[in-house]
Amino acid sequence: MIKKRFFTMIMMAMILIIAACSDGEVKSDAEGAKSEGSTTDEKSGGSLYLGTTAAPTLFNPYYSTDTSSSTIEGFIFSGLVTVDHDFNPEGDLAEDWDVTEDGLKWTFYLRENIKWHDGEDFTADDVVFSYNIPLNEDYVGPRGLPFEVIEEINKVDDYTVEIILSEPYAPFITITAQFEVLPEHILGDVPVADLGTQRFNTKEPIGTGPFKFKEWREGEYIELVANEDYYLGAPKLDSIIYKIVPDMNTLMAQVQVGDINLAGISPEYMETAKNLEDKGIVKLESGPSNSWEYIGYNLRNDLFKDKLVRQALTHAIDKEAIVQAILDGSGTVAHGPGSPANWSFNPDVAKFEYNPEEAKKKLKEAGWEPGADGILEKDGQKFEFVLKTTSANEIRQQIAEVAQQQLSEIGIKTTIELLEWSAYVEETSPPKWNFDAIVAGWSIGSDPDPTWFWHTSEIENGLNYGGYSNPEVDALLSENTKLSDLSERKDIIGKADAIVTEDQPSTFLYNPQGHLAVSIDLHGPKFSAANTYYKIHEWYVE
Amino acid sequence: MITYIVRRTLMAIPLLFIITVISFTMMLMAPGDPTALMMDPMIKQENLEAYKEAYGLNDNVVVQYVRWLGNMVQGNFGESLIRQGVPVSELIIARLPNTLLLMIVSSVIAFLISIPLGVISATKRNSLTDYSITFVSFLGIATPNFWIGLVLIMFLSVHLGWFPTGGVSTLGGDFSILDRLHHLILPAFVLATADMAGLTRYSRSSMLEVLRQDYIRTAKANGFKNKTVIFKHGLRNGLIPIITILGLMLPSFIGGSVIIESIFAWPGIGLLFVEAAFQRDYPVIMAVVVIAATLVVIGNLLADVLYAIFDPRIEY
């Protein structure tokens, strides 16, 4: 009897094993060309293997917010325009466009030879349909803001669309017009309230981009195959495999063994990446990132209300040492907001260089005197605060430690608090703003509009977490989005950045360098802060 | 026996209920929510509020729990908050087979290696072999298996290239059992190491106990060969308590799979749980908690039932 039961158990186990060996994935019904692995002809074909540590969520640009989803959406869909390596707008679905002098009416002339991945023709109806989604009152998605300025969208003819704005808005061309267009013939009849949960978004996205969706294997990878009918010509790559890996260690191991042939490298893995380059496994493509890292102060806190104090804090922190010791030189010291990768960058701002003596002098001027224990005091209050950052970022933790040490040298006591990412966001963002100071970073995006970070209107619900407010900056920032002339705009943004730098609402630390590890047989990728996958249809694996 | 199983199963219901109440409350009390991932200049606060409203995240914890429980008892785990429109059951169905496969194969490996080692250790008591096995066992108990996993990946996968660094199959390749096994061996072995050391010690003690029994001495006195006495008479009885451990091992496999799946990029429910926890995808977290708790309850029940099957002295 025991033998019989034992045999039955073994049989059940075998059945489970066989069941597990069969496909346990969420499969697509969408048809795509069969992957041919990585066998290639020279200068044509092959597969691009990308890796991500954060799984995508869904493929619909009006509902997704994460980088992985956006990257894949960029392969499947196209927008009216895209940006080149230097942030210049370039026609995509739109062959050309013009704007009236008052900046209110934009007319887009669409290409006529474009087909959706299911073979249908792309027309103006698709643009009118797509750009109206965020304007619909039933829309429950995160992308309302860039479309707020749109008053109406009109189809002039099958290949011409005009968009009327309620006020001039310079970022319209590089933000709003970059939004990908969805197929009206598939989604046109779906109530807008239901668009976010459509099967289309996860199982069968249909776009006009260079690659077609083939399969999403749950927890493993997303496979895209070349769109032979792509309007700029069939991509040279056969397919793109977007692998989902649990962490950067695994990702780096996969780069090393050649399972991933293109990966962005964060500063803590630069040493490993350089080793791989020395061994001839990858080549590194590098350049300035469109971002900056900073220590942000909560200006609601009495400690940080005085500009002199904030300038003193910046004087006390050795940014060059941070760049050299923590980043291994992979960044440039920042003095103000913005990034040298961006056309709007103003390098001629005030510089509060590392100078602990100057810091002490300014603090004394502001009324802070050393107490019996060496910690600065003013009106019975000690100068001590909590410096928060996220446990998910090793570099920021190290920066917090360096800042703690260097601030203690001028009599300021800091306590470091590390929070898990979600908890960190909840604590530091509206409506809590529960922090004294944070170590954080901002990315600028395809348009350099600094309104998000410094305008008073962004304090209540926006990204101006520190609560910085300066009427002069407000006026300049309000002006910047109304100018379509780039040099005039650069001038205005530069002036605003100079005032912000003088005010030091944050200690601007550095602009990181970005790095791409590219396997030696992959041709095409070039590091770009603006558009990593620019002209991806021309890339190939040798 | 049937009555006992039914009684135990009924007793499991309030237990599972309490587990879900505690888990749900802790999950919602933890800081952060799914909108933490949506830190983007292009997202308005109103958009975030509309999202929270649409998914009932603004309701109090009791309302959310009752709603979740109502759906769950009808077999509906709800929809993912992050992968909007995707039912949680679909995510679980896609991942559970991978975890079960890993658990079963690692159990088989653990038993196949530990029991013979335990038996050898017991029969050669106080010899160099015994001491060596004991040393390795204690080393195994003291070494975290995630570390063993990382070391094996570095040497066997990255340096020697003998095994893949992760995943369940070769990307773009056709389905093949051999390919699956190739991907399975390392994670299954590392997961097995969590229990191997303990099992070896346990089977050694169990065998030592049996070898001291009168019937073993009698069998030896009757002239049976040493091998026959150990394997036919000793092992059969020595295995009884070890087999019951199978059930008790289930919880450790669930816990272990969370770590091992993360290291080996093995897309099972352990990895799904980790992803969901970071993203605060509440319905997914709860679904995995319910499955894991159910497996633990089943494991314990299985242990008791197996004991009754293999040891005729036990009566229920």
Q: What is the pLDDT of residues B254-305, one digit of tens each?
A: 777 888 888 888 999 888 998 898 888 999 999 999 988 888 888 888 877 7
For residue range B213-270, list pLDDT tens digits in order.
777 777 777 777 777 777 766 777 777 777 777 777 776 667 778 888 888 889 998 8
From chain A, pick out residues whose CB is under 8 angstroms from the CB of B30.
423
Mean pLDDT of B76-86: 88
User: Do residues B164 and B182 make contact, with C-beta atoms less than 8 angstroms apart?
Assistant: yes
Residue among B96, B172, B177 minimizing CB distance to A37? B172
Query: Which residue of chain B has the CA closest to A256?
Result: B158
* Structural domain A47-261+521-541, CATH architecture: 3-Layer(aba) Sandwich (3.40)
User: CA B151, CA B308: separation in Å to the nearest integer?
Assistant: 41
Cα three-residue angle A209-B87-B58, rounded to 5 degrees: 100
Query: Which residue of chain B has the CA closest to A254?
Result: B165
What is chain B's mean pLDDT, rounded? Answer: 84
Mean pLDDT of B121-134: 86
From chain A, pick out residues whose CB is under 8 angstroms from the CB of B101.
16-17, 20-21
- Does B41 contact A445 at a Cβ distance shorter than 8 Å? yes
In Å, how far is B173's CA from the nearest CA of chain A? 7
- Does A145 contact B36 at a Cβ distance shorter than 8 Å? no
Domain A291-512 has CATH 3.10.105.10: yes
From chain A, pick out residues whose CB is under 8 angstroms from the CB of B161.
257
Q: What is the pLDDT of residue B312?
A: 65
- Does B44 contact A24 at a Cβ distance shorter than 8 Å? no
pTM for this prediction? 0.83
- Do you know the residue count of chain A? 542
Domains and CATH numbers, chain B: 1-74 (no CATH), 93-310 (1.10.3720.10)
For residue range A28-46, list pLDDT tens digits in order.
333 333 333 344 444 568 9
From chain B, pick out residues whose CB is under 8 angstroms from the CB of A422.
31-33, 36-37, 278-280
> Distance between the two ends of chain B, CA-based, in angstroms?
6
Residue of B39, B40, B57, B302 to mutate for A, most A C-beta atoms under 10 A: B40
- Does A219 contact B271 at a Cβ distance shorter than 8 Å? yes
From chain B, pick out residues whose CB is under 8 angstroms from the CB of A2.
309-310
Q: What is the pLDDT of residue A123?
A: 96
Residue A3, pLDDT above cutoff 50: no
Cα-to-chain-centroid distance, residue B314: 27
User: CA B144, CA B132: separation in Å to the nearest integer?
Assistant: 20
User: CA B196, CA B209: separation in Å to the nearest integer?
Assistant: 20
User: CA B116, CA B241: separation in Å to the nearest integer?
Assistant: 15
In Å, how far is B99's CA from the nearest CA of chain A? 9
User: Do residues A431 and A441 make contact, with C-beta atoms less than 8 angstroms apart?
Assistant: no
For residue B79, give the DSSP letter.
B
User: Do residues A503 and A307 make contact, with C-beta atoms less than 8 angstroms apart?
Assistant: yes
Cα-to-chain-centroid distance, residue B266: 14
User: Do residues A390 and A398 make contact, with C-beta atoms less than 8 angstroms apart?
Assistant: no
Interchain contact B37–A (C-beta under 8 A):
yes
In Å, how far is B44's CA from the nearest CA of chain A? 6
Residue among B33, B157, B310 minimizing CB distance to A253? B157
From chain A, pick out residues whose CB is under 8 angstroms from the CB of B104.
13, 16-17, 20
For residue range A431-483, list pLDDT tens digits in order.
889 999 999 999 888 889 999 899 999 898 888 999 999 999 999 999 999 98
Long-range CB contact pairs, B16-22, < 8 A, 24+: B16/B290, B16/B293, B16/B294, B16/B297, B19/B289, B19/B293, B20/B65, B20/B69, B20/B72, B20/B286, B20/B289, B20/B290, B20/B293, B21/B65
Interchain contact B223–A (C-beta under 8 A):
no
Quote the tokens at residue B152: 């094996």
In Å, how far is A20's CA from the nearest CA of chain B? 4
Q: What is the pLDDT of residue A44?
A: 65
Residue among B47, B94, B98 minimizing CB distance to A142? B47
For residue range A278-336, list pLDDT tens digits in order.
999 999 999 999 999 999 999 999 999 999 999 999 999 999 999 999 998 899 999 99
Minimal CA–CA distance to B145: which of B110, B111, B120, B179?
B110
Q: What is the pLDDT of residue A28?
A: 38
Residue written as tokens 């694996």?
A541
User: Do residues B54 and A140 make contact, with C-beta atoms less than 8 angstroms apart?
Assistant: yes
Residue A145, pLDDT above cutoff 90: no
User: Do residues A113 and A125 make contact, with C-beta atoms less than 8 angstroms apart?
Assistant: no
Interface of B with A in 106-135 (CB under 8 A): 108
User: CA B106, CA B189: separation in Å to the nearest integer?
Assistant: 6
Minimal CA–CA distance to A54: which of B67, B278, B292?
B278
Minimal CA–CA distance to A503: which of A355, A384, A336, A348?
A336
Residue written as tokens 């009427």?
A471
Q: What is the pLDDT of residue B161?
A: 86
Q: What is the pLDDT of residue A7?
A: 42
User: Hey, do A47-261+521-541 and A291-512 end up sharing a CATH topology, with the first three levels equal?
Assistant: no
Q: B177-211 and B235-263 helices cross at what angle (nearest 10)?
A: 140
Interchain contact B263–A (C-beta under 8 A):
yes
Q: Choose the weakest-confidence range: A173-182, A258-267, A407-416.
A: A258-267
Query: Which residue of chain B has the CA closest to A38?
Result: B172
Interchain contact B198–A (C-beta under 8 A):
no
Q: Hey, how many other C-beta atoms are within 10 angstroms of the C-beta on B182?
A: 15
User: CA B2, CA B201: separation in Å to the nearest integer?
Assistant: 33
Residue A392, pLDDT above cutoff 90: no
Q: How confident is the model at residue A67 (pLDDT cuts 50, 70, 90)?
A: confident
Q: B88-123 and B235-263 helices cross at what angle (nearest 10)?
A: 140
User: CA A12, CA B285: separation in Å to the nearest integer?
Assistant: 28
Cα three-residue angle A265-A267-A271, rounded to 5 degrees: 85
CB contacts < 8 A (A, B): 190
What is chain A's mean pLDDT, rounded? Answer: 89
- Calculated CA dihedral for residues A425, A428, A432, A434, nearest 10 degrees: 140
